[in-house]
Amino acid sequence: MNLIRDIWQSIVRRDPLSTDKGKSELVFLNVWLHIHPAKVKKENMKFRHSFYLGFITFFLFLILLTTGIALMCYYRPYPPQAYQDMKDLQFAVFMGPFLRNMHRWAAHAMVVCVFLHMCRVFYTGSYKKPRQFNWVVGVVLLLLTLGLSFTGYLLPWDQLAYWAITVGSNIGSYAPIVGGQLRELLLGGHSVGEAALLRFYVLHVAVLPTAIILLTIVHFWRIRKDGGLSRPVWKLKPKQAPALVTIGAPPTVAPLVSIAASKDKTYGLMEVVTGKPIFETITPEEEEDTVFSYPYAFVREAVVLMATVTTIMMISLYFNAPLEQLANPAKTPNPAKAPWYFLGLQELVSHSALLGGVIAPALMVLALLLIPYLDSNPSRRPADRKWILWLFTFFVAVNLALIVIGTFFRGPGWAFVPPWVHVTAGVE
Amino acid sequence: MERRLQQVFFGLSILALVLILAAEWQASTPSWKTYQRNFLQLEAQGEPNAVAKAAVLATPPEIHQVMLTGLQRVDRCTTCHLGVDDPTMKNAPEPFRYHEGLGPHIASKFGCTICHGGQGLATDKESAHGNVAFWQTPLLDRDYIRASCGRCHKEGDVPGVPELAEGRHLFENQGCRGCHKLNGVGGSIGPDLSEEGASLRSPQWLEQHFLAPNAVSAGSAMPNFHFTRQQARSLTYYMLSLTNADMGTYYSSVRLIPSPQYGRELFVEKNCITCHSVGGVGAKTGLDLLGVTKRHSPEWLDEQLVNPQLVYPGSSMPEYDLETNARKALLAFMTTATPADAQAILAGRKAELKPEDVAIEAGKQDFARFGCVGCHGTELQGGVPNPNAQGGEVPSLLHVADDYTKDEVIAIIRNGKAPPLDNAAGPTPPLYMPSWKHVLSDEDINRVADYLWSKQQKKESW
């Protein structure tokens, strides 16, 4: 039928997928897919290069968006009702527990995956020129993810939420001069209450997701503009200036086409310009290693997507998201603990509020942001960057150790209590 | 490799579909639907013909809930307990059985959890009965269920639950307030009991604690009052009824129905007859109270009881700190009081009281009401163990006049006092004299001191 064919052709304008041109056009004529190159290097798709952690993180975010919007239909950000809505989700809403479980577990998983993704990028040295800025964007995305998780933590308005946020926001107030005011701005008052719940809700469902979506777009865009995924470390040649064949014009050779600049003309970037491209270019032998994104890259991404979704669904079928009793400002659980990813911080704070709660984390974030600019070693080969790898491993290990101590080894009064010693949880 | 990946993708997609169906199945087969099906079958048995049977069985499953805005709760218990208000279900098996003897407290108006405890919003048995983590009030044991009456019926006698009145009486007369706060009044040595009924402690724990404080709570500073089992049970009932939850006007209005009987008890307890007379029977210091409710408006009388000096400057009538309901009850008694009542009250008194004794009597009542008797004893004998305090126990107050002037005693009551240590290196004694200046008015404190001085034993002359 002509009508159906016309409609189809008005939507899909590419050539048939059986042709190379069609495969290319599928990618670059499609607004969603054009973030991919038309062709990708085989080696870059290897699982052991990236572990697809960036994709997993992105897919988790998609799960969070969809389940989050569904949850918004059942939630009122007002103290007693918020908790009652949680109970309704648990007991009366069809598939409510499953929905909430998926959101909760995907959120925790996203924090973990963002962190692992950052580690992968560090260990493969992929933050080096020309990708420095994308690393910075990534660190900001990590912070936004923590912010999303932290703001979402309060919304159930149970004891767990209330006291974790109380402790968490207290840590922030240790900053000199501005700390107290920042905390007040965040909470809309001196303690966690109605105003804080509303502010956290607004941050959680509007401000932070928008920020994270915008920055994710930048992050993906920069991957393409910086030359795609970095080469796997095992493909790097030892200590040899890469023999680049720049398409069009190697620095030493005259450009293929040279047009005298005219004041009467404006030039767009789509025109032929001279100079070296900022991204890595590929050598002829590497060119032979490339395949079309369709279907090679897409099928891998689809597998990762389904693996992520099914894993979260399986977890959500069997493990229920925690929900404690209604938040009670008069009853402090002992110990009151921040969300797990801030327990390292809380552990530091327990030793020194200013040093552990402000200076150390501020330096940590600053160091993370500046890594690509401070690390002047141009080589990405692990053999050439031994000490910095050890340094980073040490940094990761210390952070994990602090979180483990804070989570499992701290009992009432923040006393050291191993997890195998049972202490009846005291409520003051 | 590519083929394998496509198979994996296909497999994972199937798995995702299966998982969604599993979640859907999990969500659409809650246990309450099974209960409702069983109930419908039970109901259908009673139907005369097949058409009616089919109509009953065709009832769609749904969650039943009682919205109790006044009690700030939503009870979904009737989702499974479908026969609670259906007398024909008298002999039905649980959870469908009819709830007998509810009187006016029907489920559709009061819900279930206000008396029974448990988690009203829940729709599965375990969560609803509240024996799950993070739910503070599981179902109350059958033995203690009547304690819940006291959540709304906060004053006076509750028919069928004498334990509540006895528990309240014990609490006020055994000096519990000396260490425990209740609704803002009391000491701070022990925990605040204002919300004890909503705490995690089980009834059995409370009862054991009253019988032997140290057995369930090692190192507790609470003295052993040697309560009988019955008294411990009554106190437990009273504790379980204590909750700060707002019961809403409809439910709390039961407290505001004043009973003349309660008013009469107060009239006796406060020794009103020492100053006042009724129809000429009684003392002449104060006004005659016969027909007083006809001479003044209820508001005027209420104000008079709250603040006598404001209404009658220079009035010698003390402030009695009566609760709203107590004042209403007193006025209710006043409308009915006859000279015969006054005669009976006078006849019931052990000894003739003189007006000057009334201040001392009021001091004695303060001494009991604010819990001093808890440690210092009803006869000022002291003797409650207080390890590592000088003498090892709370001092007797029968000889305070030997060591202190009245002003010094008043200062100690006002500001509190840590007991002198027996062994300076030893642990801090668990009991101490709290500061009372924020609880008692200066007038109250003076009265207590007057009472103490009235009890001083004469120095033995050598």
Tens of pLDDT, residues B163-185: 888 898 888 888 888 888 888 77
Would you say residue A281 has pLDDT above 70? no
Contact across the interface for A84 and B134, Cβ inside 8 Å: no
- Flag whether pLDDT at A198 surpasses 90: yes
**Given 1.10.1060.10, 2.160.10.10, 1.10.760.10, 3.40.50.300, which CATH number is that of B358-455?**
1.10.760.10
Segments of chain B assigned to CATH 1.10.760.10: 144-251, 258-353, 358-455
Does residue A420 form part of some domain? no
* Set of chain B residues whose Cβ sits within 8 Å of the Cβ of A299: 2, 5-6, 9
| pLDDT for residue A245 | 47
Alpha helices (runs of H) in A319-375, residue ranges in sequence order: 343-351, 353-354, 360-374
ipTM of the complex: 0.84
How many other CB atoms are found less than 10 A from the CB of residue A383? Answer: 11
Asked if residue B340 lies in contact with residue B156, where contact means CB atoms within 8 angstroms, the answer is no
| A409–chain B nearest CA distance, Å | 22
What is the reported pLDDT for B363?
82
Tens of pLDDT, residue by residue over A322-331, are 898 888 888 8
Least confident of A115-119, B256-260, B406-410, B429-433: B256-260
Using alpha carbons, select from B159, B169, B166 the residue that is nearest to residue B257.
Answer: B159
Give residue B40's pLDDT: 92
| Mean pLDDT over the full length of chain B | 84
pLDDT at A51: 94
Q: For B359-405, how does the pLDDT look when each residue is reduced to its tens digit (9 = 90+)?
A: 777 788 788 878 888 888 878 888 788 888 887 888 888 888 888 88
* Alpha-carbon torsion angle A303, B15, A103, A229, nearest 10: 0
Say if the Cβ atoms of A80 and B72 lie within 8 Å.
yes
pLDDT mean over B157-166: 83
Under a CB-based contact definition with an 8 Å cutoff, are residues A362 and A174 in contact?
A: no
- The answer to whether residue A426 scores a pLDDT higher than 50 is no
**Do A310 and B28 count as a contact with CB atoms less than 8 A apart?**
no
Query: Which residues of B are less than 8 Å from A92 in CB distance?
Result: 63, 76, 121, 123
Q: What is the mean pLDDT of residues B322-339?
A: 84
* Chain A nearest C-alpha distance from B272 (Å): 41
Least confident residue range of A139-153, A384-398, A412-426, B420-434: A412-426
At A9-45, the pLDDT tens digits run: 899 888 889 999 999 999 988 888 888 888 888 888 8
pLDDT band (50, 70, 90) for residue A217: very high
- Domain CATH number, residue A347: 1.20.810.10
Q: What's the whole-number mean pLDDT along residues A137-154?
A: 95
A310 contacts in chain B (CB < 8 Å): 12, 15-16, 19
| Distance of alpha carbon B325 from alpha carbon B332, whole angstroms | 10
Burial of B239 (0-12, 13-18, 19+ CB in 10 A): buried
Q: pLDDT above 90 covers what percent of chain B?
A: 17
CA angle centred on A300, ends A296 and A304, rounded to 5°: 170
Cβ separation A313–B23 shorter than 8 A:
yes
What is the CATH architecture of B258-353?
Orthogonal Bundle (1.10)
**Architecture category of domain B144-251 in CATH:** Orthogonal Bundle (1.10)
Residue A270 covered by a domain: no
Per residue in A245-280, pLDDT (tens digit) is 445 555 565 555 555 555 555 555 555 555 655 555
Task: Determine how β-strand B66-68 pairs with β-strand A426-427.
Answer: unpaired
Closest CA to B118 of B147, B75, B86: B75
Say if A276 falls within a structural domain. no
Residue B157 has pLDDT above 80, yes or no: no
**Arithmetic mean of pLDDT over chain A:** 86
Instruction: For residue A101, give the chain B residue with the closest CA.
Output: B23
Interface A:B, Cβ pairs < 8 A: 73
Query: Apex CA A345: angle with CA A343 and CA A348, to 5°?
Result: 110
Nearest-by-CA chain A residue for B135: A325
A387 has a pLDDT exceeding 50: yes
- Can you tell me whether residue A291 is helix, strand or coil? strand
- Asked whether residue A405 is assigned to any structural domain, the reply reads no
B231 Cβ partners below 8 Å, 6+ apart?
Answer: B166, B170, B210
**Whole-number pLDDT of residue A244:** 47
Q: Give the model's pLDDT for residue A306.
A: 97
User: What percent of chain A shows pLDDT beyond 70?
Assistant: 86
Which site among B15, B73, B79 would you substitute to test the A interface, given the most A Cβ atoms closer than 10 Å to its Cβ?
B15
Determine whether the interchain pair B23/A80 forms a contact, defined as Cβ–Cβ distance below 8 Å. Answer: no
Of A80, A98, A325, the CB nearest to B136: A325
State the burial class of residue A32 (Cβ atoms within 10 Å of its Cβ: 0-12, 13-18, 19+): exposed
CA-CA distance, B34 to B44, in Å (whole number)?
Answer: 15
The shortest C-alpha distance from B198 to chain A (Å) reads 12
Does the structure show a pLDDT above 80 at A243? Answer: no
**Range from A261-270, B22-31, B311-320 carrying the lowest mean pLDDT:** A261-270
Q: Quote the strand ranges of B272-423, DSSP E.
A: 277-278, 281-282
Residues of B with CB under 8 A from a CB of A: 2, 5-6, 8-9, 12-13, 15-16, 19-20, 22-24, 26-28, 63, 72, 74, 76, 119, 121-124, 127, 133-136, 200
CB burial of A182-200 (b: ≥16 within 10 Å; e: otherwise) equals ebeebbeeeebeeebbebb
Q: Measured at the alpha carbon of residue A235, what is the angle toward residues A233 and A239, in degrees to the nearest 5?
A: 80
Q: How many domains is chain A partitioned into structurally?
A: 1
Q: Tell whether A263 is covered by a domain.
A: no
Which residues of chain B lie closer than 8 angstroms to A309, CB-CB?
16
Does pLDDT of A115 surpass 90?
yes
Please give the pLDDT value at position B458: 61
Tell me what pLDDT residue A259 has: 55
Residue A309 is nearest to which of B8, B16, B119, comparing CB atoms?
Answer: B16
B279-293 per-position pLDDT tens digit: 888 877 788 888 888
CA dist B144 and B236 (Å) reads 8
The pLDDT confidence band at residue B161, using thresholds 50, 70 and 90, is confident
Written as one letter, the residue type at B262 is Y
Distance CA B154, CA B165 (A): 9
Contacts of A16 (CB under 8 A, 6+ apart): A22
Rounded to a whole number, what is the distance in Å from the CA of A304 to chain B's nearest CA?
A: 8
Whether A64 and A145 have beta carbons less than 8 Å apart is answered as no
B24 SS3 class: helix
- Please state, for a pLDDT cut of 90, what percent of chain A lies above it: 50
**Does the CA dihedral A93-A96-A97-A98 come out positive or negative?**
positive
Whether B121 and A296 lie within 8 Å, measured CB to CB? no
Percent of chain B clearing pLDDT 70 (strictly above): 93
Q: Which of A42, A85, A159, A310 to mutate: most B Cβ within 10 Å?
A: A310
- B59 CA: distance to closest CA in chain A (Å): 19
Chain B: residue whose CA lies nearest to A80: B72
Task: Find chain A residues with C-beta within 8 A of B22's C-beta.
Answer: 317
**Weakest mean pLDDT among B35-44, B207-216, B386-395:** B386-395
Phi and psi at A219, nearest 5°, equal -60, -50
Range of the domain at A195: 14-238+289-390
